[in-house]
Structure 1
Amino acid sequence: MRTSPTNSPRRRTPLSVAAISLTLLTAASTHLAVAQDNPTEPPAVPSAQTEAAPGTPAERLIVGYKSGAAEATSNKAAAADAAAKGEQTGEDVDFERRLGTGAALVDLGEQATRTDVADVVAEYEADPQVAYVVPDRLNKPLATPNDTEYSQQWDLFESTAGMRVPGAWDLTTGSGVTVAVIDTGYVSHSDLAANIVGGYDFISDTAVSVDGNGRDSNPADPGDWYAAGECGQAAGSDSSWHGTHVAGTIAAATNNGKGVAGIAYGAKISPVRVLGKCGGYDSDIIDAITWASGGTVSGVPANTNVAKVINMSLGGGGACSTATQSAINAAVNRGTTVVVAAGNENQNAANSSPANCGNVITVAATNRSGSRASYSNYGSVVDIAAPGGETRTSTANGILSTLNSGTRTPSTENYAFYQGTSMATPHIAGLAALMKSAAPALTPAQIESAIKSNARALPGTCSGGCGAGLADAAKTVQAVTGGGTPTGSTYASSTAFSVPDNGSAIESPISVTGRSGNAPAALKVGVDITHTYRGDLVVDLVAPDGSVYRLKSASSSDSADDVRTTYTVDASAESANGTWKLRVQDTAALDTGRLNSWQLTF
């Protein structure tokens, strides 16, 4: 949803773009000479010589021998020396291997204390054939950006209600992933330009496009201002440069010594223009979703920058139309994750589209204290919450990103604080890009499941429902890169199945491999079913051996829509590996539905 920019001071920066860099934090390992007043006593050893990391005793030492020493070239001699040092200190010291520099790596074991390490270091120090001995230090990437406005991006790093993004940067920056921002297009900005790839202008109505033509390959944003009395509004509005603000949150250039940091700053942005003066039409948005995800649109060249993530910070009232849902389903089936805004009307998001569509990640907005922002929509269709800001008390409590100072047409680039679920949505799109980069095999359903299962409880409150909680970027990325199954312990299917009205059951399979033993006693079964009278539905989990576990029975009194929930099943008697199935049957006439996706979490 678009919101008006706040009246914050504009910031201008030079138009140069520096190369992105990642600084590696390395511990000093310079050999420290120690004077020995009494050569019969071992020298004192500084604590830095005993630790692999602060507070953690070293498990290995790197020993450099002087030229001419037998141990400098002979592994056998180095091993014998290590054994001798171990005997002299009473420790278990073993030669492990020769480094490329010629130094010897010796192992002290996991149980060595700092005092044990100090004794062995002192023994090596006292050996005239040893040039140096240093701990095998643990190094970590230091991913805190040097961008000048980063300190104002509370939404990324603050402990109270930030999304814990820096911890994810230690593992991935989003490289190799394109995110389509389906929005107002893109106005040139030097803090974003390096990450922009080809997009498209899908606005077919020239009254909306205001760029003098219809569809073309130029997604540049000419401005979306309107005068008083236009667009059904009594008051006019300046150009928002909305798509550029959204794009900056996702992938602003980072570690370039200027401006803001993007969440997935290694990713690319494909600007896809669908919103102009007064908004944009479903027909253009449907084509944009199709094209961005790699589908074919008549009269439009094939997309050479297919997006694995789509961000749609837009919407309107009413139900999700069949036409829009079809476009979303097709995009998801192509492997593209679709992230949408919950809306800014402080109402149930079930009344807003595409927030109420299936197969999307619907995002509510939180403020700086971690409560639902006063404007944010809420409800059962919301999947997750992310920082969207709230500027009533302070402009700085909004979300800072790339913008333009022009009130109507483009002028100088700047940065500004906005608020809205439009600002929350790119936080999740950026996280999805980080995940897809770190684990390319992830499906859209697995991405959604991992984001939700690794969320943390809101630090504040959310009346009406904010989904699984506040997204946690670090925990989520760590989960999908932890090895084993694609999302740590989750298997999912995003293949949609129509559920026949009062007809035969449909079955959706998930193949589970690579696990040992039986399924857990608390197997989680996540289900996403769209249906206009869910009381008609019977839902079962079918184990690999054919055993059936009833998840939901039919009920003539349950007239609510949809089944979007997670069931817990005691499946400890079942083998984990094999083909599991979700069986869904409509048992009464008149209402229809669709199984959108489901997942098993072990």
Structure 2
Amino acid sequence: MRTSPALRRKLISVAAVSAALLTGTALPAVAAPAQDTAALPAVPAAQTEAAPGVTAERLIVGYKSGADEATSNKAAEADAAAKGADVDFERRLGTGAALVDLGGADKGDVADVVAKYKADPSVAFVVPDRLNQPQADPNDTEYAKQWDLFETTAGMNVPGAWNTTTGSGVTVAVIDTGYVAHSDLAANIVAGYDFIADTAVSVDGNGRDNNPADPGDWYNANECGSGIPASTSSWHGTHVAGTIAAVTNNGKGIAGIAHGAKISPLRVLGKCGGYDSDIIDAITWASGGTVSGVPANTNVAKVINMSLGGDGACSTATQSAINAAVGRGTTVVVASGNDNENVANHNPGNCNNVISVAATNRAGAKASYSNFGSQVDIAAPGGETRTATANGILSTLNSGTKTPVGENYAYYQGTSMATPHVAGLAALLKSANPALTPAQIESAIKTNARALPGACSGGCGAGLADAAKTVAAVSGTGGGTTGAVFTNTTATAVPDNAPAIESSISVTGRTGNAPAALQVGVNITHPYVGDLVIDLVAPDGTAYRLKSSSSDSTDNIDTTYTVDASSETANGTWKLRVQDTAAQDAGTLNSWKLTF
């Protein structure tokens, strides 16, 4: 059964762990092959006991030996009534503890009830009665072969992200060879487009149309250049798409990283490759731009995957298309290339405004073929089949050597295989926090990467992408209370045309860094908001500009700003700095808040 992200955050992968911490009992066995449980987000101590501020529907109260309430239900019932008007004794547990219903109390009332129980000398403990759910690996039959998702050494720690998000609500455009029908992917495919204009490349006998089906990209010896041997059809786009969003928990095949997301297949690669002009139009259309002669896109993508490339610099034309796509809010993820060379010489891995991905092998070192260099942003599993076939990346494919025959699964290697791992992660992040910009998504992925367990001579970016850690960072599940809000409601005057005033919030109980999309809510009364300059000041003194002065003559501010604060330690004193920069009008900072 699937549950909403909000409910999953209440549940308990967290609860199972914290219950074990409380009781000292063993955790239920989980069948994940070689899962790195140490790499999953830590459970804060504050979540192992009911505490003031914790929302709960019921409490489990243990009384000390000798107390009347420890054995008498009538006494426990009277004690519950004394703790709050709506508090009721429900029943006695097998351990002797009392189950107490809170009657739908709000957070403040819960805090009061808990405080009373804690202060009672006859009470040994009070803990929340939390909701648990069955925990299991996906039932996909080939999941155990997907080392790239879960293995401790070099897997991307993907299962740890699924309790929070599976990518729902996000479309990923796969700009590639198109899509060959596969039952383990079909439910997650939405309309795409065939952008190949040249019939010599298209193979399907026509130019551009609304059918992105992959007819095969095979070619004969010397057909793609002198000395180039013959090649069978690759079904490359389908392999890439499966890694991102293969249907999961369907009792067959593989699991997709963002299996709640949708794939829009855009066909740009055919026989011998594909032209920049077609790729540029696909980038534009995928991100919601207009392409002459092509109907408007009804499945605008928030993530683009380009597991393709060529030699040379990033052209001005390609860079322009990428910049426009990012400006429309689409994250562009590209392969660094398979030449074992510096990515500076290979596009689009050397373009700006992209997430350029290097490939690692099963040991967590740079794969022998992968490009490298300072323009690489991140590394992800790309596999290396020369050491063993099973060390490649398993995904959806077709058994046809020229035209489609029957669906199957196969291991591939390449930066083409690493790239969809990161595109899938980007979809998870966008689903978990829709407010994230492409720059914030890139920053979050890089900030939360872990060190490569193996070597990478020449540079593989920030390290190995870590799905669970990154999703936790952007969704507020990485530490402390999920979705914690810290507020300052003390009104502070903002004097007319004067030095800045500051208001402080002390943040405690968080783990690690602030999120990549820290929410800053600001409420200011002022008759001419254009006069105001507003900055958020992190505990280390770094200032983030929320609002500059302008000619805006409207009055009052009641809005929420988003800040990429992922490089800042969450705990500490944060400040809101407000300055009125022009004469005639004064105002008041009524309140502000930080939502982690």
TM bin, normalised by shorter chain, reads: 0.5 to 0.7
Choose the corresponding residue for 2:103, options 98, 101, 125: 98
**Does the CA contact (< 8 Å) of 2:150 and 2:156 recur in 1?**
yes
> Of residues 264, 280, 285 in structure 2, which corresponds to 1:286?
280
Q: What is the distance in 2 between the residues matched to 1:462 and 1:330?
A: 32
The structure 2 residue matched to 1:357, chosen from 336, 343, 351, is: 351
Q: Hey, what does 2:309 align to over in structure 1? A: 315
Cα distance 1:139–1:315, how it changes in 2: closer, same or farther (>3 A)?
Answer: same
Residue from 169, 193, 206 that aligns with 1:200: 193
- CA deviations on 1:323-374 (whole Å, 9 max, x unpaired) are 1011001100000000000000000001001111111000000001110000
Aligned to 2:157: 164
Q: 1:142 aligns with which of 135, 149, 162?
A: 135
TM-score of the superposition, structure 2-length normalised?
Answer: 0.68
Shift of 1:234: 3.0
Of 198, 205, 221, which aligns to 1:228? 221
Shift of 1:70: 11
8 A Cα contact 2:350 2:375, kept in partner: yes
The letter of the residue matching 2:142 is: E
Whether the 8 Å CA contact 2:59–2:99 is kept in 1: the answer is no
User: 1:48 offset after TM fit, Å?
Assistant: 8.7
Shift of 1:77: 6.9
**For the Cα contact (< 8 Å) 1:185–1:243, is it kept in 2?**
yes
Aligned: 1:377 with 2:371: yes
> C-alpha separation between the residues in 2 aligned to 1:190 and 1:388?
24
Aligned to 2:184: 191
Matched, 1:397 2:391: yes
* Cα distance in 2 for residues equivalent to 1:375 and 1:455: 22
> 1:61 corresponds to which letter in structure 2?
L
On the 8 A contact 2:219/2:230 being kept in 1, the answer is yes
Alignment correspondent of 2:465: 471
Please say if residues 191 and 252 of structure 1, whose CA atoms lie closer than 8 Å, have aligned partners that are also in contact: yes
Superposed displacement of residue 75, structure 1:
7.3
C-alpha separation between the residues in 1 aligned to 2:306 and 2:357?
10
- Distance in 1, matches of 2:314 and 2:272, equals 20
* Partner SS for 1:424: helix
Matching of residue 412 in structure 1 with residue 406 in structure 2? yes
Counterpart secondary structure, 1:182: strand
> Measured at CA, do residues 80 and 170 of structure 1 come closer, stay the same or move farther in structure 2, by a change above 3 Å?
closer
Looking at structure 2, the residues matched to 48 and 543 of structure 1 have their Cα atoms a distance apart, in angstroms, of 47
Aligned to 2:526: none
Q: SS of the residue aligned with 1:160?
A: coil
Structure 2 distance, partners of 1:266, 1:208, is 33
Shift of 1:76: 3.5
Query: CA 1:512 to 1:150, structure 2 compared with 1: closer, same or farther past 3 Å?
Result: farther
- Give the length in aligned residue pairs: 459
Q: Calculate percent identity across the aligned residue pairs.
A: 69
Contact 1:332 1:444 in 2 (8 A): yes
Shift of residue 576, structure 1, vs aligned partner:
5.8
Q: Which moved more, 1:247-256 or 1:140-149?
A: 140-149
Q: Contact between 1:544 and 1:578, CA under 8 Å: does it hold in 2?
A: no
Query: Is the contact between residue 201 and residue 218 of structure 1 (CA under 8 Å) also seen in structure 2?
Result: yes
Letter in 2 for 1:159: T
CA distance in 2, matches of 1:466, 1:282: 26
Question: Based on CA coordinates, which of the two structures has the bigger radius of gyration?
Answer: 1
Residues 307 and 335 of structure 2 are in contact (CA less than 8 Å); yes or no, is this contact kept in structure 1?
Answer: yes
> Tell me, which stretches of 5 or more residues in structure 2 are unaligned?
28-44, 51-57, 62-68, 91-96, 477-482, 486-512, 519-531, 550-565, 580-595
User: Secondary structure of 2:181's partner?
Assistant: coil
TM-score by length of 1: 0.67
Deviation at 1:519, TM superposition (A): 3.5
CA contact (8 A) 1:365 1:420 kept: yes
* Contact kept? 2:60, 2:98, Cα under 8 Å: no
> 1:461 aligns to what?
455
The C-alpha deviation readout for 1:102-145, integer Å capped at 9, x for no partner, is xxx99666998xx997x679xxxxxxxxxxxx971453673621
Q: Post-superposition shift, 1:256?
A: 0.7
Instruction: Report how far residue 229 of structure 1 moved.
Output: 1.3
SS in 2 for 1:284: helix
For residues 117-132 of structure 1, the aligned pairs below 5 Å read: none
2:331 is equivalent to residue 337 of structure 1: yes
Asked if 1:61 is matched to 2:59, the reply is: yes
Shift of 1:61: 3.3
Matched, 1:298 2:292: yes
The Cα shift of 1:488 comes to: 3.6
| Amino acid across the alignment from 1:426 | P
1:213 aligns with 2:211: no
CA distance in 1, matches of 2:172, 2:460: 24
Structure 2 equivalent of residue 549 of structure 1: none
Q: Quick one: structure 1 residues 48 and 151, their matched pair in 2 at CA, closer, same or farther if it must change by over 3 Å?
A: closer
Shift in alpha-carbon separation, 1:281–1:577, aligned structure 2, 3 A:
farther
Contact 2:449/2:462 (<8 A) preserved: yes
Corresponding position of 2:589: none
Q: SS of the counterpart of 1:142?
A: coil
The counterpart of 2:145, out of the listed 135, 152, 160, is: 152
How far, CA to CA, are the matches of 2:514 and 2:415 in structure 1?
29
Of 164, 175, 182 in structure 1, the residue corresponding to residue 168 of structure 2 is 175
- Alignment deviations for residues 552-599 of structure 1 (CA, whole Å, 9 cap, x no partner): xxxxxxxxxxxxxx999xxx99966579xxxxxxxxxxxxxxxxxxxx
Aligned residue number for residue 65 of structure 2: none
Deviation at 1:99, TM superposition (A): 6.0
Report if the CA contact (8 A) 2:176-2:237 is conserved. yes
2-side partners of 1:269 and 1:374: how far apart?
Answer: 30
- Does structure 2 conserve the Cα–Cα contact (< 8 Å) formed by 1:201 and 1:219? yes
Q: Do the aligned partners of residues 512 and 164 (structure 1) sit closer, same or farther apart at CA in structure 2, a change above 3 Å counting?
A: farther
SS at match of 1:98: coil
The CA deviation string for residues 288-343 of structure 1, in whole angstroms up to 9 with x for no partner, is 00000000000000000000000000000011111101100110000000000000
Gaps of 5+ in 1: 1-18, 30-46, 86-91, 122-133, 493-510, 526-540, 546-565, 580-601
